[in-house]
Copies of this chain bind each other. A is one copy, B any other.
């Protein structure tokens, strides 16, 4: 399959096999609307709808749905609709004889260059949940806080541990965040103090957007969950480790996380990720039936290469911090969704579920500075000369997450999730 509508470089994240969805605007058309990235342009889905490209898709009021400032409505339509639209788009992009394509004529009437668009949050996020699904990450953190013998809590191998996060402060890539102020207790023998976090960190995560969801009181099976996940984004779960350490007992992370969570703007659909399915790690003990499903043959993992780079305030270029892969994740995406709804909790289109930090088995694959500097005990060297080091994020550092699936001759990539940490605000409270 080769795109003939626009040129797509082999190393482009946005191949015709990808077709991720996002919400964009331009200076000349400032109202946010639905776009699909291909090569170095964004397809205006509403414009394509007005040409009648999606007229034959049953259940899709394309001119309305693609003129929305969020993808919630499209996410709510379900996988059969998503698949038809994907197939129609691929035909449009690859087939010179496509009827609508002939009518459209030039690219300019339905697409704008990626470099000219402003990206917005892909959805109005009703609820945001974060899981803790990487065994390596949970073990690393557990070892630091509780020692090697008690690293994993007894529940961890029986269920995908998760918690509710803050939806209001999820922001799109490119948004800067101020270092948060808060309570922390650096000296356990003295009272807590107030001020800027001194242990600010990133967490390399991915997150899925829920599609049609479920009614309150009606859980999902694994097979149903498979059809209810719309797609994935990169996520940086910024974490103030000192605020978190002091506040989190016994009810979990709160202000150590809720100052901001960054996601990449392009949602890569599960259909685009199909060719990159792999077996998830062996689960021992065997999970309870509701998390297991009838078939063990399903490949529930995804082979997605993930990187984190830092552009230090005292440097000129980006340096690699983490190189990991989603395939390391112990609990699959569909297990996370099934578990979330098993008590009858209703999931809605546009709900966001993070995976938790995706660390792998080697130190290079640790997905946070907490792990890389082993809780600040060692310096992370950013350049070969060792002149630039970090234990945690410093003011004006930029953190960039990237990710892609590599096939023979094309990529299915996620673009980037980037954010800069600005100095803490001086509060006169």
Chain A residues in the interface with B (C-beta under 8 A)? 126-127, 132, 153-155, 158-159, 161-169, 171, 177-178, 180-183, 185, 191-194, 216-219, 221, 240, 243, 246-256, 258-260, 285, 288-290, 339-340, 342-348, 351, 425, 427, 429
Contact = CB atoms under 8 A, between A and B. Distances in A.
A168 B251 contact: no
Given A164-B166, A345-B166, A255 B288 contact: no
A177 B193 CA distance: 43
- A-B pairs, 8 with minimum CB distance: A252-B252, A180-B343, A164-B164, A163-B251, A258-B345, A251-B252, A255-B343, A290-B429
Contact of A343 (B126, B219, B243, B348): B243
A155 B194 contact: no
A150 B167 CA distance: 33
Nearest to A213: B168
Contacts of A178: 217, 344
A254 B164 contact: yes
Contact of A127 (B154, B168, B343): B168
14 contacts: A132-B251, A155-B183, A155-B185, A163-B164, A163-B254, A169-B216, A191-B285, A192-B288, A217-B259, A217-B425, A251-B252, A255-B340, A259-B344, A290-B429
Contacts of A164: 163-166, 254, 258
A168 B254 contact: no
A420 to B, nearest CB: 13
A20 to B, nearest CB: 26
Contacts of A154: 185
Contacts of A342: 181-182, 255
A178 B427 CA distance: 47
B158 A343 contact: no
Contact of A191 (B158, B171, B246): B158
A155 B339 contact: no
Given A126-B167, A251-B253, A259 B153 contact: no
A161 B429 contact: no
Most buried by B among A169, A177, A178: A169
A121 to B, nearest CB: 13
A153 B250 contact: yes
Contact of A217 (B163, B177, B246): B177
Contact of A159 (B159, B171, B218, B247): B247
Given A180-B343, A339-B255, A429-B221, A248 B247 contact: no
Nearest to A125: B126
A165 B248 CA distance: 14
Contacts of A248: 250-252
Contacts of A191: 158, 285
Contacts of A290: 194, 427, 429
Most buried by B among A168, A343, A427: A343
Most buried by B among A181, A247, A339: A247
Contact of A169 (B153, B253, B345): B345
A134 B282 CA distance: 44
A296 to B, nearest CB: 16
A219 B132 contact: no
Contacts of A159: 183, 192, 247
B166 A246 contact: no
B169 A427 contact: no
B289 A194 contact: yes
B169 A167 contact: no
A342 B178 CA distance: 12
Given A169-B216, A255-B345, A247 B161 contact: yes
B425 A346 contact: no
A230 to B, nearest CB: 16
Contact of A168 (B180, B218, B260, B346): B346
A217 B425 CA distance: 8
